[in-house]
Structure 1
């Protein structure tokens, strides 16, 4: 039996992934995709780290807001005259929501017309332009627009290529996405230390410019890595109708379960997504960040979070590998997401404790660090695992589109965070974080109910 016959779900040009273990026991292409995504995420999280602080400390001040083309019109039009921190939180939430909405369009463009490779290269180029535009104050809104479009073309298509390195029955798939997310976490560690420090200590535009240069480096690396990546998926002229027919016959029930999973994921992600919004404002105002007479940049709290996420994602991945070796199997994706929700709730309760025990002075870092540790364990069981689940269920002809649909969970989470984050200025801080505990608890209960009622649907054999 040939390799192609043994792995009928793989394209002929990618079946070698079943035997390729050149990168940590995984295909060499995974290493390239992880590094490219690391560059893109460095750029993105540089933006995430600096954006709210940039707006609240500088851009939205009365003497500066008028320098931005169209910003005041947007403020008094769409946002109804919101000012200061609530306006920054809402604008940030809408921006990040749109960033996760456009991958649906990017997936459709790749699946139906351009193929993943061309679409991804275009996305990387547009993103680089957006990051570099952030170096010009007047072009702020144009930069956000370019980033929204660029991420849409880029993000879902690179994640779907990770899945294409593996047969649907290859149990390395979930671990591959955890490795993929480890590369992301390394970038999130580095972004605040480099771009965050440049932005807060040297000049905001230096931080944004650095993000653009790293994005260009990632794009060049992706172009170089072509021989080790899955074959492009540019569709043949007669293939679309057959793919649609297979989807209608066999895959609709499982795709409907994935759609049902989206709002549950959004609730589970709420605490994690708030880290880049109101949490940073809270840390800037209330955390004790002065050590030996030196005040460290607030953006370094993102490095604390990313360091915890990286370390614990490695630990979680190693633990389940050990567990599978000892017991012959491991929990499926939904089981891991349930476990993750428990840790997310525990982490959010640490923020409640930090607010409830604050005296007259600043908040020490014990409870915030405990939050980042517990929330990171939850992250390791939720985000990479849920992405692996979506790529497993997705029909091969529509992988990019389904991964784009996956990011609707982030759209919902960030839009809610944009609104809820704006309440930070007027709401009691303990109640503010208890609200996030409640959202994570609802997510946990919903995961359990979904597992009990529809879990078998997701594990049904995939059609053609």
Structure 2
């Protein structure tokens, strides 16, 4: 178990004080991550991958040869989208190793510190053309150290019986994510539009340093890392009930991948669609396409008090949905988000689309996120066996690895399918996830409850 300390039990607003420092650390880290992410595919398509620039990137020839060897010959848009998908995917693959490193050897705190250092170097490496691929590598490795472990630390602050409080704690933590994800694309997108791409990328590096300061300031309020087995000894193996429980948790993660495919595509082809198809002039001002990534996160912030009020009202009447019910609702909302883009494409097949359609789409995706992702993290944190808790939290992010790779692959069909059919495809994917939860959710919940009692 993760041992609470006197300082980790200090409370503010009913939650452990450490939650505030973890949420603020994640806010600044997400500022950097989403600020850079909102620029990435636009930067590649509009500048970096063009003749005269692509030759400056160290290792690009070998990298492109490898990617096209696996996925076939790609247009500039398809190559940029596949690169974005690979980056977005591997950002969620490496947390598995970060969780292993924390559980077996270093503990979550040290691995998070390593992640902050690597991500800071990665953001600053984005300032130069030649180090573009190196920057992506450093960001992938750094995110692997940080993501699962900082999320696991949130769960370690709570006692096992604090189920409802833990879920709300993760919602607050996710709001930290969304504050950073709102401000990052706004600031980095505006700086990139006014002063150039590399200034926008450099700003992301500066705010990773702020994340480091906040994290170190809160160390005394975090729960102690779970003790690693003494040298020469081993931790007890997982029981058969624990292995079956892990299998059911993985099944839930797989189901959520359907709606996450549509969500991830908003920040890949979605931003390209906004740039190409939407009338972005408002009152003489050209809205930067990257700002729509901020809208999604801002909508998530607005969603938090609304959802907490709704869930509180439902709880008083004994009707608050369980974790799987919330995940299903999130999938339906994400289907509605993708539908807004399809309707926008239909509304102006040969002209510019009204800005209202992407505004509605990115707003709905923000509400979908708050219904689904904090709920997934809370479910994994609560149900995963203690001896591999950080690895299982990383496993939640691992599902997004496959989502990132798949979304990059699906992006190649944007040009041949046309935008209307492309977005209708994502409506179907999200709806499929919702139906699967409705069909299998009750059985999954009952089996997990039984296995926890057996274990």
1-side partners of 2:432 and 2:273: how far apart?
25
Residue in 1 aligned with 2:212?
A: 219
Q: Which residue among 99, 105, 111 is the counterpart of 2:103?
A: 111
Residue in 1 aligned with 2:145?
A: 153
Q: After the TM superposition, which segments of 4 or more aligned residues of structure 1 sit over 6 Å from their partners?
A: none
1:77 match: secondary structure: helix
Q: Please list, as runs of the form range in 1=range in 2, the aligned pairs for 1:288-367 lying within 5 A after superposition.
A: 288-324=279-315, 326-328=316-318, 330-367=320-357
Q: Deviations over 1:305-339 (max 9, x none)?
A: 22212111331123212322x22562211111112
2-side partners of 1:15 and 1:265: how far apart?
36
Residue in 2 aligned with 1:4?
A: none
Residue in 1 aligned with 2:264?
A: 273
Q: Which residue among 55, 79, 104 is the counterpart of 1:66?
A: 55
TM-aligned CA distance change 1:87 to 1:359, over 3 Å: closer
Is it true that 1:98 corresponds to 2:90 in the alignment? yes
Q: Deviations over 1:45-64 (max 9, x none)?
A: 01210100110011000110
The answer to whether the 8 A contact 2:7-2:221 is kept is no
The answer to whether the 8 A contact 2:328-2:438 is kept is yes
1-side partners of 2:358 and 2:301: how far apart?
17
Residue in 2 aligned with 1:33?
A: 22
Residue in 2 aligned with 1:369?
A: 359
Is it true that 1:413 corresponds to 2:403 in the alignment? yes
Q: Deviation at 1:243?
A: 3.6
TM-aligned CA distance change 1:12 to 1:432, over 3 Å: closer
Cα RMSD after superposing both structures: 1.8
The answer to whether the 8 A contact 1:10-1:166 is kept is no
Q: Deviation at 1:286?
A: 0.8
Residue in 2 aligned with 1:47?
A: 36
1-side partners of 2:357 and 2:287: how far apart?
18
Q: Please list, as runs of the form range in 1=range in 2, the aligned pairs for 1:185-196 lying within 5 A after superposition.
A: 185-196=178-189
2-side partners of 1:238 and 1:297: how far apart?
55
Q: Deviation at 1:176?
A: 0.7
Q: Please list, as runs of the form range in 1=range in 2, the aligned pairs for 1:443-454 lying within 5 A after superposition.
A: 443-454=433-444
Q: Please list, as runs of the form range in 1=range in 2, the aligned pairs for 1:115-194 lying within 5 A after superposition.
A: 115-170=107-162, 171-194=164-187
Q: Deviation at 1:103?
A: 0.2
TM-aligned CA distance change 1:215 to 1:234, over 3 Å: farther
1:177 match: secondary structure: helix
Structure-1-length-normalised TM-score: 0.93
Q: Deviations over 1:258-310 (max 9, x none)?
A: 12222211112111111110000000001111122221211111122222121
2-side partners of 1:414 and 1:65: how far apart?
23
Q: Deviation at 1:16?
A: 5.9
Q: Which residue among 80, 97, 109 is the counterpart of 1:88?
A: 80
TM-aligned CA distance change 1:462 to 1:213, over 3 Å: farther
1-side partners of 2:147 and 2:454: how far apart?
26
1-side partners of 2:209 and 2:75: how far apart?
35
TM-aligned CA distance change 1:359 to 1:77, over 3 Å: closer
The answer to whether the 8 A contact 1:164-1:230 is kept is yes
2-side partners of 1:389 and 1:182: how far apart?
17
TM-aligned CA distance change 1:242 to 1:236, over 3 Å: closer
1-side partners of 2:417 and 2:278: how far apart?
18
1-side partners of 2:277 and 2:38: how far apart?
17
The answer to whether the 8 A contact 2:377-2:396 is kept is yes
TM-aligned CA distance change 1:77 to 1:454, over 3 Å: closer
Unmatched runs of 5 consecutive residues or more in structure 2: none
Is it true that 1:242 corresponds to 2:235 in the alignment? yes
Residue in 2 aligned with 1:5?
A: none
Structure-2-length-normalised TM-score: 0.95
Is it true that 1:396 corresponds to 2:386 in the alignment? yes
Q: Deviations over 1:193-250 (max 9, x none)?
A: 1111112221111111111111111112111211111112341316973342xx2243
Residue in 2 aligned with 1:207?
A: 200
Q: Which residue among 238, 244, 259 is the counterpart of 2:250?
A: 259
Q: Deviation at 1:359?
A: 4.8
